[in-house]
């Protein structure tokens, strides 16, 4: 069980890294979704081999088996919630960028003078006058 | 007394929630938020005093003792960082009030700043690796929201690289936390430290340490993981940029220091050397980036990186003297960097732009503003007797002592280039006279903004001219940070007592 999960984590991370290295931000988004799933599985691995162990619920006696370590499951639960929120935010930000710029491709987005004064014409008056 | 340790997290979190419901912007709301900021500052100062006189405050959250529950520990380093966070947050809010008339205020900005402060404070106070991950995410989510909240359509794309890099960093951190639980069977800092020392020499510890330090290096903006920062910060409104530049990367430096001093075994010399060399590269590449930029916020954003290099270099040298230098440097840098961003904002209001091509005449018409820029700028470059000098001096002395000549030369070159790029701003925005560039003295906002900036500059002057007490505190802090056994005894020992008590 552990070895299979390890291989799965490795596979997911490989695909995620490939996607994150692509120029399109939509692919980066999918890469991140895969990466967070891979990492969640990795954290789950820390509870050890689940076979021969019972679910960690107090008072649930299944033939006197020892319970699995519940802590990594609690960690993963927290991480899933956080990851979900961040992905939702990233989707909305991508959508806004796409509406404004008509593209979500990094090379096209940052084609104009890379790294030069992003906000130079914006005087603080506009900032205050919004 | 120990319950006080968690208050720097609870106060801003509650204030943020209340702020979400108190939607109507007005003077009363501003006063309330300023009072919350002041309360945080007082709280943090009380914690510094208590950490100095009674030792670190240890709190097992919910009454669960240290190896099982989440521990909150405020020792000297945490308390100092909490104080700096409170100062920067308060100054940033006041500066924002001066810069923006209340009718233009975005109702989400102040609550988001409070959530950001809550995340920052939790990162400083927590003594549990997974809790640190949660604190990072709280801080980062608030920072994403603030970054895009008031950015205009043209700029918002610069949030994407910031987001992507930090998301990957967050995922790696989660992986590091999971691996720590698998390796050491605990997430508590003290527990990990105790087990890691026992397992010293195990290659898995080394691999895990590299993963952890990579994550923290992304947060701190160490070469080659820094490019998310210098393009993202300039899209922020000036008051928020002052807070970000002061605090966010310094959270990364703090956790690097915490990880090297408290979590990891002290004999990973290869790792420390790698950290020092990466810091040297960060220093020099950051300042070269700054020289290449042509608007004040862009120059200052790159300087953050260069300065991060100095702090990480001190951590990489890893002696008590060097760590004391790092602590002093952090204290100096947070104040000076924030005040420089604030001074840049004042230039932006007076000249209607902080682009160096469209900014001039300020020294002749506004010598006060000139001083507000010049003093922190020279301090950043490290001229004596300003606050930047002492930290740099100690780092260079430690470098010479260890015979790291290349790194010493790199740091000196970086200092000279810092001075050069600061003079570039000085020569155009302040010194040059260009009749076509208007100076809008009639815009009354600059007075309030300059007053807040002045407060920060006075603070930085005080740190520089009265360096001795700060230096004592820095040395005490360095001793405490490097005393790994004492930390373990404090946390796990205190836990033993808590278990024994009914």
The pLDDT tens digits of the residues spanning B188-241 come to: 898 898 888 888 788 899 999 999 999 999 988 888 888 888 888 888 888 899
Backbone φ and ψ of B126, nearest 5°? -75, 150
Which residue in chain B is spatially nearest to A98 when comparing CA positions?
B157
Which residues in chain A touch residue B341, judged by CB atoms under 8 angstroms apart? Answer: none
Residue-level pLDDT at A61: 60
Inter-residue contact B33 to B117 (CB < 8 Å): no
Relative to beta strand B57-60, strand B71-74 is: antiparallel
CB B437, CB B358: distance < 8 Å: yes
**Distance of alpha carbon B136 from alpha carbon B168, whole angstroms:** 13
Closest-CA distance, B178 to chain A, in angstroms, reads 4
The per-residue pLDDT for B22 is 87
- CB contacts under 8 A, A 33-92 vs B, are 35-36, 39-40, 42-46, 71-72, 75, 78-79, 82, 85-86, 89-90
What is the per-residue pLDDT for B199?
86
Q: Which pLDDT score, from 0 to 100, does residue B496 have?
A: 46
Coil, strand or helix at B25: coil
pLDDT band at A112 (very low <50, low <70, confident <90, very high): low
pLDDT 10s per residue in chain B (502 long)? Answer: 578 888 999 999 999 999 999 888 888 889 999 999 999 999 999 999 999 888 888 888 887 776 778 889 999 999 999 999 999 999 999 999 988 888 888 888 999 999 999 999 999 999 999 999 999 999 999 999 999 888 887 788 888 888 989 999 999 999 999 999 988 888 889 889 888 888 878 889 999 999 999 999 998 888 888 888 888 888 888 889 999 988 888 999 999 999 998 888 888 888 899 999 999 999 999 898 888 888 888 888 888 888 999 999 999 999 999 999 999 999 999 999 999 999 998 888 888 877 878 888 888 888 888 889 999 999 988 888 888 899 899 999 999 999 889 999 999 999 999 998 888 888 888 888 888 888 887 888 888 889 999 999 999 999 989 889 999 999 999 999 898 888 888 888 755 444 433 3
- Judged by a CB distance cut-off of 8 A, whether residue B265 touches chain A is no
Residues 6 or more apart in contact with residue B384 via CB below 8 angstroms: B393
CA pair distance B140, B148, nearest whole angstrom: 12
Q: Which of residues 158-177 of B touch A (CB under 8 A)?
A: 158-161, 163-164, 167-168, 170-172, 174-175, 177
CB A67 within 8 A of CB A56: yes
* pLDDT tier at A126, thresholds 50, 70, 90: very low
Q: Do A72 and B148 touch (CB under 8 A)?
A: no
Predicted confidence at residue B474, as pLDDT, reads 93
CA B491-B495-B500 angle, 5° bins: 155
Rg of chain B, C-alpha, whole Å: 22
Task: Give me the residue from A86, A94, A100 closest to B153, CB to CB.
Answer: A100
Residues of A in contact with B169 (CB under 8 A): none
pLDDT of residue A120: 43
Question: Which residues in chain B are contacts of A80 at CB distance < 8 A?
Answer: none
CA distance linking residue B159 with residue B461, whole number of Å: 34
Structure token pair of residue A44: 């789950």
Q: Name the residue with tokens 């995410």.
A: B137
Residue ranges per domain, chain A? Answer: 2-54+66-103
Provide the b/e sequence for A9-45 (b: ≥16 CB within 10 Å): beebbeebeebbeeebbebbbbbbbbbbbbbbbbbbb
Structure tokens of B364?
């002749």
CB of A98 less than 8 A from some CB of B: no
Helix (H, G, I), strand (E, B), or coil: what is residue B379? Answer: helix
* Higher-confidence position of A58 and A128: A58
Residues of B in contact with A126 (CB under 8 A): 152
pLDDT of A122 = 41
Q: Does A94 touch chain B (CB under 8 A)?
A: yes
Helix (H, G, I), strand (E, B) or coil at B132: helix
Q: List B residues 331-370 in contact with A (Cβ-Cβ < 8 A).
A: 345, 348-349, 352-353, 355
Q: Which two tokens stand for residue B358?
A: 């469209």
Which residues are CB-neighbours of B458 under 8 A, at least 6 positions away? none
CA–CA separation, A25 and A91 (whole Å): 10
Contact A110 B230 (CB under 8 A): no
Nearest to A93 among B140, B159, B353 (CB): B159
What is the model's pLDDT at position B494?
Answer: 56
Find chain A residues with C-beta within 8 A of B159's C-beta: 93
Instruction: Report the Cα A124 to chain-centroid distance in Å.
Output: 35
Judge whether B47 and B57 are in contact, CB under 8 Å.
Answer: yes
B294 → closest Cβ in A86, A90, A117:
A117
d(CA A61, nearest CA chain B) in Å:
23
**Residue B445 contacts A, CB cutoff 8 Å:** yes
Averaged over A89-111, what is the pLDDT? 85
Just give the CATH number of A2-54+66-103: 1.10.287
**How is residue B498 written in tokens?**
């808590």
């Amino acid at each position: 069980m552990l070895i299979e999960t390890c291989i799965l984590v490795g596979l997911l991370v490989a695909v995620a890294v490939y996607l994150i290295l692509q120029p399109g931000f939509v692919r980066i988004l999918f890469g991140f979704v895969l990466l967070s799933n891979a990492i969640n599985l990795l954290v789950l691995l820390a509870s050890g081999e689940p076979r021969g162990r019972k679910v960690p619920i107090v008072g649930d006696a299944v033939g006197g088996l020892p319970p699995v370590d519940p802590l990594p499951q609690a960690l993963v639960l927290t991480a899933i919630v956080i990851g979900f929120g961040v992905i939702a935010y990233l989707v909305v930000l991508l959508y806004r960028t796409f509406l404004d710029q008509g593209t979500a491709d990094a090379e096209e987005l940052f084609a104009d003078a890379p790294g030069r004064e992003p906000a130079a014409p914006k005087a603080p008056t506009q900032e205050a006058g919004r | 007394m120990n319950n006080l340790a968690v208050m720097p997290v609870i106060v801003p979190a509650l204030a943020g929630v209340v702020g979400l419901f108190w939607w109507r912007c007005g003077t009363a709301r501003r006063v309330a938020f300023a009072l919350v900021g002041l309360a945080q500052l007082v709280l943090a100062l009380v914690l510094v005093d208590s950490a100095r006189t009674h030792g670190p405050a240890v709190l097992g959250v919910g009454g669960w003792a240290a190896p099982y529950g989440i521990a909150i520990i405020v020792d000297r380093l945490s308390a100092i960082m909490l104080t700096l966070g409170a100062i920067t947050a308060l100054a940033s809010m006041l500066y924002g009030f001066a810069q923006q008339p209340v009718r233009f205020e975005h109702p989400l900005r102040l609550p988001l700043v409070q959530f950001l402060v809550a995340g920052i404070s939790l990162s400083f106070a927590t003594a549990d690796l997974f809790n640190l991950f949660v604190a990072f995410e709280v801080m980062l989510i608030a920072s994403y929201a603030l970054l895009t909240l008031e950015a205009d359509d043209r700029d918002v794309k610069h949030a994407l690289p910031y987001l992507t890099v930090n998301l990957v960093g967050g995922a790696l951190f989660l992986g590091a936390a999971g691996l720590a639980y698998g390796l050491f069977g605990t997430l508590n800092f003290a527990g990990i430290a105790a087990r890691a020392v026992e397992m010293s020499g195990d290659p898995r510890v080394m691999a895990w340490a590299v993963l952890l330090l990579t994550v923290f290096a992304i947060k701190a903006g160490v070469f080659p993981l820094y490019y998310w920062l210098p393009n993202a910060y300039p899209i922020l409104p000036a008051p928020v940029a002052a807070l970000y530049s002061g605090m966010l990367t310094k959270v990364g430096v703090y956790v690097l220091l915490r990880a090297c001093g408290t979590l990891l075994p002290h004999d990973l010399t290869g790792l420390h050397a790698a950290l020092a060399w990466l810091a040297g590269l960060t220093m020099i590449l950051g300042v070269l980036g700054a020289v290449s930029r042509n608007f004040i916020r862009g120059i200052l954003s790159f300087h953050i990186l260069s300065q991060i290099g100095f702090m990480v270099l001190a951590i990489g040298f890893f002696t008590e003297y060097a760590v004391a230098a790092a602590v002093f440097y952090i204290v100096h840098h947070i104040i000076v960097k924030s005040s420089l961003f604030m001074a840049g904002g004042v230039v932006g209001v007076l000249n209607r732009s902080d682009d160096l091509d469209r900014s001039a005449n300020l020294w002749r018409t506004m010598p006060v503003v000139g001083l507000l820029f010049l003093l922190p700028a020279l301090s950043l470059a490290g001229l004596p007797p300003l606050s930047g000098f002492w930290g740099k001096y100690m780092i260079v002395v430690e470098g010479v002592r260890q015979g790291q000549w290349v790194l010493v030369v790199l740091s000196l070159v970086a200092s000279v280039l810092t001075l050069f790029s600061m003079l570039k701003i000085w020569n155009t925005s302040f010194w040059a006279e260009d009749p076509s560039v208007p100076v809008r003295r009639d815009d009354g906002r600059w007075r309030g903004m300059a007053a807040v900036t002045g407060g920060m500059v006075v603070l930085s002057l005080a740190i520089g001219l009265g360096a001795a007490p700060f230096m004592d505190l820095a040395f005490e802090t360095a001793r405490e940070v490097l005393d790994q056994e004492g930390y373990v005894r404090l946390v796990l020992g205190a836990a033993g007592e808590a278990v024994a008590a009914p």
